Amino acid sequence: MSKDCFAIADRMRLLDASGIRKVFDLAAKMTDPINLSIGQPDFDVPEPVKDKAVEAIRAGLNQYTQTQGLAELRRAVGAACRQEFGWADDRPYLITSGVSGALMLALLTTVNPGDEVIFADPYFVMYAHLTNLCGGACVPVDTYPDFRPDINRIADAVTGRTRLLVINSPANPTGVVYTERELKDIADLAARRELLVLSDEIYNFFCYDGPFSSIASFHENTLLMRGFSKTYGMPGWRMGWCTGPGKIIEKMTMLQQYSFVCAPSMAQAASVVALETDMSDRLAAYTRKRDMVHAALGEKFGLIKPGGAFYAFVPAPGGDATAFVEKAIANNVLIIPGKVFSPRDTHFRLSYAAGDEKLARGLEILRSLA
């Protein structure tokens, strides 16, 4: 059989295996590693949410739902948004297969070959790979050393080819939470330049030092994306949602029909219960974990205290993150080198979504290696 029968599409040359996934695979081969690499909560799905999913399965909710999602869940999301933003009842909502699914739908819907997509550097890896997959041009805006958005740098990055401005707050990998003033400045720029903003707010629950602010409060042309994976400990359930300009949501819904079809039916039913579940104890626990990380690494490593999500982007001793990560892995601690999230390799990402005992052990090892 000719080798040409197995030809791979050219677009796949623009992607490479995630450095995060490589460490995830490595962890599966290790005996009891101290895994501070993967961004998934260490707590389980609340029991009432599990019970509702089982009830839905037993009741026969095992078929396709409407592509846009169960009406009951869309109403529940809409009610939460009315309370937060004061939005009207007729706003469109799309239930997606996680925020990752929403990101793919959004970029395929809005980005043409040659269009530019602006996002902060460091960045969540999917932003660059999906932009490349669409034939777009990545425009990372430098936020080193404090990882705060500089409105002048963002403005300088905008050109006539800019199609999308991606905001991620609280941020992966840095843990930075944008202030209301920073978001208003970005919103003003986006309005002046008629830019569509994509706001990835998957970590909106994990804000430790003050209330969370969304750019959707200040900029009408915002694709707002949130999910259930982090807040409710259900990353494997693949549940997210998106709202924004009606024409874009309509096209994203059409694309979902021909790709994901719909989010998992029983998980949609359970997500209605999740929205009613008090998770404040988890927020308190993760505030404590954040404080543990900063107490251990702040002075010794020069770590700026993260304000949200559950990551710390830590300066690597000697400035070579890959070399330090190799030492850490050799000592049974899994972390991610900064080059996965940035052209630079001066920092490493640590996820403190781990049990307190393992987190403390990992922090002690990292301190000893430094």
User: What's the average model confidence in pLDDT over 153-182?
Assistant: 98
- In degrees, rounded to 5, the angle at the alpha carbon of residue 202 between the alpha carbons of residues 196 and 206 is 125
Mean pLDDT of the region 215-239 = 97
Confidence of residue 114 (pLDDT cuts 50, 70, 90): very high
Query: What value does the mean pLDDT take over residues 12-16?
Result: 79
Domain boundaries, the chain: 3-44+279-369, 47-274
| Look-up of token digits 């997606």 | 96
**pLDDT confidence bin for 1, thresholds 50/70/90:** very low
Q: What pLDDT sits at residue 38?
A: 87
pLDDT at 28 over 70: no
Contacts for 44 with CB less than 8 Å, ≥ 6 apart: 233
DSSP letter at 267? Answer: H
Rounded average pLDDT over 258-278: 97
| Under 8 Å between Cβ of 287 and 308 | no
Q: How confident is the model at residue 18 (pLDDT cuts 50, 70, 90)?
A: low
Residue 15 pLDDT: 77
Return the sign of the alpha-carbon dihedral for residues 159, 244, 125, 9. negative
Q: What is the pLDDT of residues 290-339, one digit of tens each?
A: 999 999 999 999 999 999 999 999 999 999 999 999 999 999 999 999 99
Average pLDDT, the chain: 94
Task: Give CA separation, 340 vs 22, 24, 145, 364, in Å.
Answer: 11, 13, 17, 24
Structure token digits, residue 162 = 């800019």
CA distance 139 to 160: 13
Q: How far apart are CA 63 and CA 57, in angstroms?
A: 10
* Domain spanning 47-274, CATH class: alpha beta
DSSP codes of every residue in 301-341: HTPPPP-BTTEEEEEPGGG-HHHHHHHHHHTTEE-EEGGGT
- Which fold would CATH assign to domain 3-44+279-369? Aspartate Aminotransferase, domain 1 (3.90.1150)
CA distance 259 to 254: 9
For residue 94, pLDDT over 80 is answered with yes
Report how far residue 179's alpha carbon sits from residue 211's, in angstroms, rounded to the nearest whole number.
10
What value does the CA radius of gyration of the chain take, rounded to a whole number of Å? 21
